[in-house]
Copies of this chain bind each other. A is one copy, B any other.
Amino acid sequence: MNDTTRESLVRAGRELFARHGFDGASVRAITRQAGTNLGAITYHFGSKQALFEAVAASLVQPARERLQAATRGPGTPLDRIEAMVRAFFEILFEHPELPQLMVHVMLSSSPVPEVGLRTMQANVGLLASLIREGQEDGSVRPGDPQLMALSVAAQPLWLALARRMLREGIALDLKEPETRTDLVASVVTFVRAALSVQAESAGAEHPEID
């Protein structure tokens, strides 16, 4: 089994499915970008739909694992929430195709893939349980943990998604590392302030600047 053709098809599919959606990314465009023959998708994956699912899995699975790993770090619940937000940004900067693909799937008429739904449940659940944990130890203000988790997750997702509009609309170019760290720092501070029950005098031993 030759893997380089398969891999270049997945790579091209990631880019084109993310930009144009399933219907908008033509088999001809994908195979052309991958440098393969028109029939390569049918041959290696069986159908365009099967390639799409392989592309989705190649994006969702690693993200899921990295987010779960971030929650298992040390520190207070707020620290681990911060770690999740930072990990989320890293994933999204590395793979802007992920939220783009999510959006195309959400807007299309086709059913949301099982793996996508379970990943969302898992990640919102992780955030919510960290928030609940913080509420129980008194470091996080009261409120519905699930809704608060959505407020947290919405920021990295939308900001990564709106990257192009941020650049063209308000001259915020996320390609520049400094801009990225400023943005991440701002969101992290925003989230901590939103969740903290007070000024976080309790756990603020170490100044977090990177």
> Chain A interface (Cβ within 8 Å of chain B)?
18-21, 23-24, 100, 102-104, 106-109, 112, 116-117, 120-121, 124, 141, 143-144, 146-148, 150-151, 153-155, 157-159, 161-166, 168-170, 172, 178, 181-183, 185-191, 193-196, 198-202, 204-207, 209
Contacts and interface: CB of A to CB of B under 8 A. Distances in A.
Q: From DSSP, what is the main secondary structure of chain A's interface residues?
A: helix
A141 B192 CA distance: 13
A132 to B, nearest CB: 14
A205 B202 CA distance: 11
A121 B169 contact: yes
In the complex, which of the residues A100, A106, A163 has the most CB atoms of chain B within 10 Å of its own CB atom? A106
B207 A164 contact: no
A105 to B, nearest CB: 8
A20 B183 contact: no
Q: How many monomers of this protein are in the complex?
A: 2
B202 A202 contact: no
A129 to B, nearest CB: 13
Given A109-B19, A198-B199, A207-B209, A151 B24 contact: no
Contacts of A206: 189
28 contacts: A19-B108, A23-B23, A103-B103, A106-B164, A112-B165, A120-B165, A124-B169, A143-B190, A144-B182, A147-B187, A148-B186, A150-B166, A150-B183, A150-B186, A151-B155, A151-B190, A154-B159, A157-B162, A158-B158, A158-B161, A185-B207, A189-B206, A189-B207, A191-B194, A194-B194, A198-B198, A199-B199, A205-B207
